[in-house]
Amino acid sequence: MPTKVTKRSATLIDRIYRTYGCLLYADDILLVSHSVSDMQAMLDLCSQEAGALDFTVNAKKYVVLRIHPRYNQASASLTLSGETLSYVDQCKYLGVVLTSFKYFKCSFDHVKSKFYRCFNTVFYRSKNAGSELVSVQLMQLICVPVLIYSHEVLQPNKTTINMFNHLIDRAVWKIFRCVDRDNIVCIRQSVHLPDVADCISLKFHKFKVQFCETFTFAEVVCNVLTS
């Protein structure tokens, strides 16, 4: 028996699978296109709007990232306000490093160095507090969020999650000076430092709840405005 699709479900499905070619956040702009010609058309439109608003676009601040099975082959050049844009292997958008590859892929190498830098600063300040739990609590509040930032939507693979867990294990080793793997696991359970996969799963659940609440609120507003 076929499943009945309600009007609300059809609207939600349409919004999920709709292609958004322009993402705006504060002063950051991300243009997405299926082809080089469409991307050039979007860049030309940006140039026209910039000219109409009487301001100059600094093309040196803009780069092109290609995600395609033939990502490593030469492609047609793109121009913005008469200047050629350069193709890059990686670029950062809202703190997330996107990588040019056959499919959508992110790099988390910078997260590793950022976590160590953050933890070393926190541990240097708290190691003389008289209790290791002070360092653990500060790490939970300051350092762990650095690891799981944006992962509720990125969904990292198992290799990345293992790398993040290894970072926390190293931090626990430095705080408690224990080397044995079983002791580190026991300490993490005792001080409520769960597996990174569990943290991401909980964060993803909260994200889904907030998304549904926001979508429901937006739908109510649209119904009120159109009624």
Is residue 138 within 8 Å of 126, Cβ to Cβ? yes
Specify the pLDDT at position 227. 56
Describe the strand order of the beta sheet including 105-107 as a list of residue ranges: 90-93, 96-99, 105-107
pTM: 0.72
- Report the alpha-carbon distance of residue 173 to residue 144 in Å, rounded: 15
The residue written with tokens 């050049």 in the block is 77
Q: What is the full per-residue pLDDT of the chain (227 aa) written as tens digits?
A: 344 445 554 554 454 445 678 888 887 888 888 888 888 988 888 888 888 888 888 888 889 999 888 888 888 889 888 888 989 999 888 888 889 998 888 888 888 889 999 999 999 888 888 788 899 999 999 999 988 888 877 878 888 899 999 999 999 999 998 888 889 889 999 988 889 888 888 888 888 888 777 766 656 555 655 55
Cα distance between residue 181 and residue 40, in whole Å: 54
Phi, psi of 52 (to 5 degrees): -65, -30
Alpha helix segments (H runs only) across 127-157 = 132-138, 144-148, 151-154
pLDDT at 1: 38
* Cβ within 8 Å of residue 149, ≥6 positions away: 95, 111
* Residues in contact with 156: Cβ distance below 8 Å, sequence separation at least 6, in sequence order: 106, 108, 164, 200
Match 């093309």 to its residue by tokens. 59
Query: 205: which DSSP letter?
Result: H
24 φ, ψ to 5°? -120, 135
